[in-house]
Amino acid sequence: MVVAQAPTDRWSEVAFSGGRSGSGPATWGQQAIWDVVRNLGTDAARYNVSGGMPLPAPVPVDRVEAAVRDLVLLHESLRTRLRTGDDGRVEQVVHTAGGIPVVTRPAEPDTVTAAAYALRDELLAVPFDAERQWPLRVGIVHAGGGVRYVVFFLSHTASDGWGLRNLLADFAALLRGPLPARDLLQPLEEAAFQTSERGRRRDAAARRSWLDKLGRGPASLFPARAGRPPAATFPNAVLNSPALGLALDRAAATLSVSPAAVVLAAAAASAARLTGVGEAVFQVVVNNRFLPGMAGGVTTIAQEGLFHLTQTGGGDFPDLVRRTFGAALSAQRHAYYDKLALDRAVAALEHPADHSCFVNDQRGLMPALNFAAPAPAPLREALARTRLTWPVEHEPRRGVSFALDAQDAPGALELAMTADSALMPRADMETFLYTIEDLVVRAAG
């Protein structure tokens, strides 16, 4: 593991020993993420999951290390490595002993937050080797005689954003003392459910729903540029919008829907204006924690649901939002499946609908560094502070036209997108993002 680090950083390990060992088939979530990241090299770090928390008073290092050790023993995904079986499928292997890498960075009391931000940026850019490394690293900022900030870095094969939120809650509780006993569905048990008769029925129902939607959707979401080879690189655009952060919850409350439905409807309407295609077919990342014991787990369970909505262009935006809410529920219901089996079924379709656009609402799921909410202000004033940047260009992503993330930022909400510029040139990406902002702000009144 090569990590750029400050000269004063100190690397150590939190040794763990105990709990059960075992092996079995990977869960659907583990398999899906493995298939995405294994061939991305250093670009795989984009899929890392990170979150952390400030500590209001200095905490002794040994207490922090003990809480980390208890976390690893509680959640088996944090001591699980993956391996490929002879049939190409992935297997999970749970270990009883090892050492979690920890980096400690000293800081002054008034530079703790800045040090935590820098540490997060550095370690978040380092990919995980899911076969040879533990899927967890921990960053500690030490100041004033104790630990003042803790940042966790996880391989996406070990956890999704919802699991990260559970990890942070459990860590905070463990700093105060032992947790009460509770039932957690560990990945080995989840995989057993997936191979059961009930799991196979759920998988089959999800495939039927996907294939039905793929049989009805448009052949291309970018008909004016269909057939063009992918661009050599995919630009990354980030719209940082305090106004969007202020407006989203207001719009959702006004329309009596979830904020996620407002974001999704605005993305559908914006795409329709840009391309002239009056239907939206998006792969939407969905939390699938519905089985007993799943809700509090640190695992990677979230998968894509297929969202299909007609008549997305023009018309009344509030009506579009309400119809989006219903269509999103259908996508969520059928977002738990064996992706390898689904991919084979889709490949057998003669003319499947274009499903190369992705939307991932990450708000609240990665409370990375205690980001402050947007300061109350008139929306017109807040709009003047919107900024669009182009941080990086990524390698081409197979089967992706664009991927849009809604995510928290200090004092703002950010829309981050990566797109194939052969289909969405930079000017179109800019128009797409600003139109989403405009629609949500107008809906907020």
DSSP per residue over 41-79, as a string? Answer: GGGGGGG-EEEEEEEEEEE-HHHHHHHHHHHHHH-GGGG
Helices (H) and strands (E) in the chain, counts: 12, 15
Residue 369 is predicted with a pLDDT of 57
- Give the global pTM: 0.92
What confidence score (pLDDT) does residue 258 get?
94
Angstrom distance (rounded) from CA 263 to CA 252: 9
Sequence-distant (6+) residues with CB within 8 A of 72 are 14, 16, 78, 79, 100, 136
Mean pLDDT of the chain: 93
Strand 136-143 relative to strand 97-106, pairing: parallel
Nearest Cα to 212, choosing from 313, 312, 334, 326?
Answer: 334
216: Cα separation from own chain's centroid? 28
Q: Tokens 């909400």 — which residue?
A: 413
Are the CB atoms for 46 and 405 separated by under 8 Å?
no
pLDDT at residue 265 in the model: 97
Dist. CA 53–CA 371, nearest whole Å: 10
What residues does 13 pair with on adjacent strands?
101
Contact 303, 337 (CB under 8 A): yes
| Residue 169 phi, psi (nearest 5) | -65, -45
Instruction: Write out the two tokens for 106.
Output: 């000293």
Looking at residue 315, what is its pLDDT? Answer: 78
Torsion from C-alpha of 367, 295, 282, 405, nearest 10 degrees:
0
Side-by-side strand order, sheet with 303-310: 303-310, 279-286, 357-361, 402-409, 412-419, 234-241, 387-394
Residues of the chain with pLDDT under 70: 1-6, 366-370
